[in-house]
Each structure stands twice: as C-alpha cells, then as structure tokens.
C-alpha cells in the first residue's frame, strides 16, 4: 500500500498550483492530468500543457518508505474534486492520501470526507521534465512570453503579498518563476515564444 499523511492545507495548495498547468486539450491525455510521484524528498505534484510546467513538492509527516513507490497520473477533474474536499479546513487538519491499484483515495479525519478517483500510471508524462529547468542564468535583451501564462502565476498558492521573481537563461530558454510558499517547494517554468517575422 502507498500512502502518506500531510497537512490538508498544504495538500490543497500543492494540488491547486499544479492543476493550473494541466491542459484542457482532451486529444493530449498525458497533459490533462496531474502527476503525483513520491521521491526521497517528498511527494511531487506536477502538470504541464507543454508551455508551462508547475511542479510543487511537499514533505509528508509519513515516512518516505510509505510513499516512495507512488507514481501516478490523476485526472484534472479528480484533482478539482479533491481540492473541493480540502477547502474550509482548519490549519491543523490532516489528510491521508492512499493509492491502491488504479484508485487514489483522500481521507480527511473528523470531517468524514473520503473521496476516491481513478488514476493511471505515469508513463505518458514527460519523464525528463526536470531536465527542462535551467541551472544557469544569463542577462538577455528580450524574450517573448505568452501573457496568458504569466496570468497563471497569480493562481499558484504563495505567501501573502510575496513577489514572483523571474530568472532568464537565454532568449530561447524557459523562463523560471520563483514562487515563495511556506510548505510547498515550487518549480515553475514558462516556455518562450519566437518573434513573428
């Protein structure tokens, strides 16, 4: 069994931030989901529509051995149902996420909330998405970016009144957005666009 327990508001923020990058194009099913993947650091929630990648990592209260094998895609519609179940909870509320076979279940103690949904394996999600994040940065004269993608940055949960800092790696490299959150480590990139001739 793969499961973890985490602060419910942290889980809500991680899901809310990741799902904004999920594609609405049903012809690209790998991009209409949110990746949930356990690793040595915590649990990553990530999504991409190929033009923006939002990845948030959280550290559960549970030992990493309990969730290190989690590696599934959750449909965006299920993610939104999970988020709805986590709204209005107190700061100290805990939630347990369990993945068994092809099902993810969210249980919130004391509220009686238990939500389940179907998941699929993550094989269709870009396996190398972390390699797209720049590691070196440089000054540039200009870069083209779709303004609709910038608008999505405002929807990613962050510390109140905190700024988003942008870092540039080159005119044809992704723009990195640094977003400050108390319990979610965000990694966000936006793909550049070329100037039309």
Task: Tell me the pLDDT of the chain averaged across its residues.
Answer: 92
Residues 163-183 have pLDDT tens digits of 999 999 998 999 999 999 999
Give the range of the structural domain holding residue 18, as residue numbers without chain letter.
Answer: 2-121+130-190
Residues 39-55 have pLDDT tens digits of 988 999 999 999 999 99
Q: Rounded CA gap, 96 and 76, in Å?
A: 19
Averaged over 22-36, what is the pLDDT?
A: 91
In this prediction, residue 155 carries a pLDDT of 96
In this prediction, residue 128 carries a pLDDT of 85
- In a domain, residue 185? The reply is yes
pTM of the predicted model as reported, rounded to 2 decimal places: 0.93
- In a domain, residue 172? The reply is yes
- In a domain, residue 173? The reply is yes
In this prediction, residue 47 carries a pLDDT of 97
- In a domain, residue 195? The reply is no
In this prediction, residue 38 carries a pLDDT of 94
- In a domain, residue 196? The reply is no
Q: Rounded CA gap, 135 and 157, in Å?
A: 24
Q: Rounded CA gap, 85 and 107, in Å?
A: 9
Residues 6-25 have pLDDT tens digits of 999 999 999 999 999 999 99
- In a domain, residue 197? The reply is no
Of all residues in the chain, what percent carry a pLDDT higher than 70?
Answer: 97
Question: Coil, strand or helix: which one is 9?
Answer: helix
- In a domain, residue 67? The reply is yes
Which tokens belong to 72?
A: 């599934």
**What's the total number of domains in the chain?**
1
- In a domain, residue 66? The reply is yes
pLDDT higher than threshold 90 for residue 71: yes
């Amino acid at each position: 069994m793969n499961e973890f327990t985490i602060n419910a508001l942290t889980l809500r923020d991680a899901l809310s931030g990741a799902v904004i990058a999920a594609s609405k194009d049903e012809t690209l099913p790998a991009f209409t989901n949110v990746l949930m993947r356990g690793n040595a650091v915590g649990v990553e929630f990530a999504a991409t529509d190929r033009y923006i990648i939002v990845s948030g990592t959280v550290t559960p209260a549970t030992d990493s051995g309990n969730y290190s094998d989690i590696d599934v895609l959750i449909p965006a519609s299920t993610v939104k149902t999970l988020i709805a179940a986590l709204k209005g909870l107190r700061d100290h509320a805990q939630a347990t996420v369990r993945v068994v076979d092809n099902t993810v279940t969210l249980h919130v103690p004391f509220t009686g909330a238990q939500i389940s949904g179907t998941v699929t394996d993550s094989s269709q999600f870009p396996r190398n998405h972390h390699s797209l994040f720049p590691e070196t940065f440089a000054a540039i004269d200009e870069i083209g970016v779709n303004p609709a993608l910038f608008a999505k940055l405002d929807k990613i949960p962050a510390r109140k009144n905190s700024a988003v800092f942008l870092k540039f790696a080159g005119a044809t490299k992704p723009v990195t957005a640094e977003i400050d959150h108390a319990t979610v480590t965000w990694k966000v990139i936006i793909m550049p666009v070329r100037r039309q001739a």
